[in-house]
Structure 1
């Protein structure tokens, strides 16, 4: 596994996107446990994209405008729903002192955040094959290119989880201070809502 792959994967994980925004919001909303659960859910949402890339289903999204647009606009709709949920003080993104949100709900929302983003599948199509050795076994155990892509995908997911969890834990660390400032909490709701609207707009024009 090359240093170039690790650095590129790290940059992709660190770059703010829907998963980062969701994990930050979960950490601010419900603390450290929720932030780690959200990071896990976002990472779990990568699995279908990796599976689609390896099995060739990604080629359908890449070549079929209808399939791609369908998934894309489902993602746009879900991001807009997340923005509405923040404004309406519902869902996982409410910064308050209530009891922890059930882990299953946090994971479910986090998985949907990444699952309904066809750009992630296209990213894997363009990204992973570059680091699979040509003309060789592709993996240390001789399992071929598929094994190599699985290994690269697992490493990418591990990096994603670590980075997202770090984001969420940092947010959770300042949560108590924010709880004592209602105006700041109201402002944060607006910021997160705007972030989700902006991300949905970026996905819509992709």
Structure 2
């Protein structure tokens, strides 16, 4: 572990987040014991929310991939559009290539 990691970890741990909200809500409303019992439950809550976030990200990225494939199919089926796309890419790469050659 690097020194940067060891210095950053305590800062991240003491920074208020979702777990702090749950723990602080349990303590004043139900007493010290409830506050202590709620502390280990906070990581579970954070992990569940993280799992939901990860699952939703997977669904959205899968949709991006399917949409990109559908656009590709539509573009490759039209030769005139593909010629235009190739020309645009050629111009985009020729400019920086020319600048590099002159520099």
**Higher helix share goes to which structure?**
2
Find the structure with the greater CA-based Rg.
2
Task: Identify the structure with bigger relative contact order (alpha carbons < 8 Å, sequence gap 6+).
Answer: 1
TM over 0.5: no
TM-score, normalised relative to structure 2: 0.45
TM-score, normalised relative to structure 1: 0.25
